[in-house]
Amino acid sequence: MSLQFTDHVNEFKRLRAEFWNTAGVCEELRAYEARDNDYEYKILKGLVPKPLVGRTNDIGPAWQKSDTFFTDFPTHNDPQRVLSSTERSHIICNIACHDTRLYSSDIDPSSLDKTAAAGMSYMHLLVIPSEKVYNAVSMSNTELITEMKTHFLDFWNRDDSADKVTHAICDAMERRYTEVARAYQRNDNSTAPQRLANLDAVMEECRISATNFANTLRTNRSSADVVLGFHSHPHHSVGHLHMHVVLADPQFRTYSTLAHDWKTLSFEAVEHVLGGEEVELTIPGGWPA
């Protein structure tokens, strides 16, 4: 895959300008960064849903109004979900399963096609800062994203990284299976056995392909085509800066969603705009335009 670098640069510039030209955005950012739970947030997206404020996910303190699902991540989640940490950032695996087959209309408990909810590749990692940083468009320099990229590359070159990644991917897949199976039984016990049989057959195929992906990744990790990118406001789901790390090789995206490629702006484009450095117009191995 390749992308037209200038398109991504121009799009990030446009989104960044729109964000900073929004009336009241500076005040709202200050409240967000100060963890002001009395402020009425109207511009920033991806905060914890209002029904969850004051509740907990059984780990850590209750969610606050200014929180996101990535705020103080190690405090609110199972320690095993954090694959690596530095003083400034954490690497986690996308909580969604990578395989769209487990989100198709004949599998999802709602009978709706939810394949866009799957991960973007067999390996879909996220690098998130420890501090509260809203989004790439709200940043003023490249210091933090440079640290995030360095952190990932250091982790990726470690001997144990492939095992950690494949374990996290397997965990996400099995968690999706369990969620779907339980929903069948809650929704309609009379149809649950038939739907469970179909789910088990599909899940067996998913496990086989995931094992093949894992073996291929272990064998070719040093040459794997890894791309880094950002979803910029307002095209993001969580209101906390996070860098997507995805295997771009089509074979690793066979069963994953392509629905979010259009909004994934390359690290190089964001770095160029924030850093003002001259770079070549086409970056190989990036996102499709």
What pLDDT digit, counting tens, does each position of 30-89 carry? 999 999 999 999 999 999 999 999 998 888 899 999 999 999 999 999 999 999 999 999
pLDDT in tens, 89-134: 999 999 999 999 999 999 999 999 999 999 999 999 999 999 999 9
Helix axes 143-156, 267-275, angle to 10 degrees: 150
Q: Is the pLDDT of residue 189 over 90?
A: no
Q: How far apart are CA 258 and CA 103, in angstroms?
A: 14
pLDDT band at 3 (very low <50, low <70, confident <90, very high): low
Q: Is the pTM of this model over 0.75?
A: yes
Instruction: Name the token pair of 185.
Output: 């039984």
Which tokens go with 157?
């070159």
User: Which amino acid belongs to residue 247?
Assistant: L
Two tokens, residue 211: 């094992």
Beta bridge partners of residue 129, listed in sequence order: 89
The single-letter code of the amino acid at 195 is R
276: burial class by Cβ within 10 Å (0-12, 13-18, 19+)? exposed
CA distance 149 to 274: 15
User: Angle between the 5-20 and 267-275 helix axes, to the nearest 10 degrees?
Assistant: 60
Asked if residue 277 has pLDDT above 70, the reply is no
Q: How many CB atoms lie within 10 A of CB 110?
A: 9
Mean pLDDT of the chain: 93
Alpha helices (H) in the chain, listed in sequence order: 5-20, 25-33, 73-76, 143-156, 161-187, 192-220, 267-275
Task: Locate 48 and state its tokens.
Answer: 């914890």
Which tokens sit at 24? 């009241």
* The 3-state secondary structure of 98-137, one letter per residue: CCHHHCCCCCCCCCCCCHHHCCCCCCEEEEEECCCCCCHH
Q: How confident is the model at residue 4 (pLDDT cuts 50, 70, 90)?
A: confident
* Cα angle for residues 45, 95, 231 (degrees, 5° grid): 40
Distance CA 209, CA 133 (A): 37
CA pair distance 287, 264, nearest whole angstrom? 7
- pLDDT tens digits for range 211-231: 999 999 999 887 789 999 999
Which is nearest to 168 in space by CA: 86, 48, 79?
A: 79
- Contact, 247 vs 121, CB < 8 A? yes
